[in-house]
Structure formats: C-alpha cells, structure tokens
Copies of this chain bind each other. A is one copy, B any other.
Amino acid sequence: MNIDTVNALPCEEFVNVFGNVVEKCPIVAAAVWSTRPFASLKASEAAVSEFIDALPESGKEGILGCHPDLAGRDLQRGTLTRESRGEQAQAGLDALESAEMSRMARLNGEYKERFGFPFVICARMCDKANILQQLSERARGGEGARRRGGEEDRPPASPGPRAHWLSGQVVSHLLQCKDSHYHQTYTWL
C-alpha cells in the first residue's frame, strides 16, 4: 500500500487498518486521519507522534494505561490484539512455567504500583529472560536501573518534564516497535 492509497482510505477503513498502531487506542488513527493527506509514510508517523505530544498529560498516561500487561490477563483470556499476541508469543510469554507466570504477575503489579501504568517493552525484540530481568530492574529500581541511568524510568515530579517524559515513553515505544506494529501494518497489505 503506497501513501496515495493510504491517503484515499475513508476514515472507517483507515481505522480498520491502522487502529492498533497505538495499542487499544484507535482514537489515535482516527484523529490522524483527519490531518491527511500525508506526503510520505514518515510524515504519517510524525502525525502520530504530534498527536500524542498534543494530548494532555492524563491522555499520555491513558495510552500507557490501555496497554496490556505482558503475559497478563489479555494473553490468558485470548483477548490480546493480533499484533500483541504475535509479539508476546515470539518472546515466549505464551509458554511460561507456573513460577515464571507468578513472578511476571508480581513484578507487573509492582511496576504499576510504582509508576501508575503497565510495564511496556517491545516484546518481539526480547526473550522472556530479558523481559523478566528488565521488568524486575525497573519495577524495583535496583542496580541495573541505576546503571542504565534509571532516572529515565521514573516520571519527574514537576508537571512540565513529566509530560515530556510521558511523550518520550510512548513515542520511544512506538519507534522501538515500528518494525512490528506500524511497519508490519504496511507490509501486511
């Protein structure tokens, strides 16, 4: 699908195709649709980032809040989106042993308790050992988090930088995942 075809899609079709570019937030695709035509794929990606940047801080938190837990309830119930199911399966999260499941659930809970939204990582670029390690470090802010400059993982206290940090979290995740959700969407067509 080239950019002219994308630009010609009616809203419903556009949302049908790109609705999960931001997980469980089809409003992003529907909003971006009204800013078309896009000069290029890159321009359409930029429109997504700009829309997220323009959201109130609670909206940025809302995007993260809609994100499913890794190896969480959606995976167990079969209610994950196709994209997330594929990513979580690729990382081996659909075949955790009982002890791993319990550890993941406990750490997901600790992370949410600490930050107020779920742990988000590009699962298809990791394996389960790596995911568990990163989740553990970030949830508990241990040595690893400090080594990697743990401040990035912690929302700053003042509103301005916090909003900026939230945009950064969401947009970095999108960029990190662009070979999966976003670019795959184009490739699938």
Q: Give A residues with C-beta under 8 Å from B.
A: 10-12, 15, 19, 24-35, 51, 54-56, 58-59, 61-66, 69, 73, 112, 116-118
Contacts and interface: CB of A to CB of B under 8 A. Distances in A.
A10 B108 CA distance: 13
A12 B51 CA distance: 24
Contact of A51 (B28, B30, B59): B59
B12 A61 contact: no
Contacts of A55: 55-56, 59
Contact of A27 (B25, B32, B34, B69): B25
The oligomer's copy count stands at: 2
8 contacts: A12-B65, A12-B73, A15-B66, A27-B59, A27-B62, A27-B65, A30-B66, A54-B56
Given A51-B56, A55-B55, A62 B116 contact: no
A170 to B, nearest CB: 11
Contacts of A35: 58
A39 to B, nearest CB: 17
Given A31-B59, A58-B32, A15 B51 contact: no
Contact of A30 (B33, B34, B56, B65): B65
A74 to B, nearest CB: 10
Given A27-B65, A33-B62, 17 more contacts: A10-B112, A11-B112, A12-B73, A12-B112, A15-B66, A26-B66, A27-B27, A27-B59, A27-B63, A29-B62, A30-B65, A31-B58, A32-B58, A32-B62, A34-B61, A51-B59, A55-B55
A65 B58 CA distance: 21
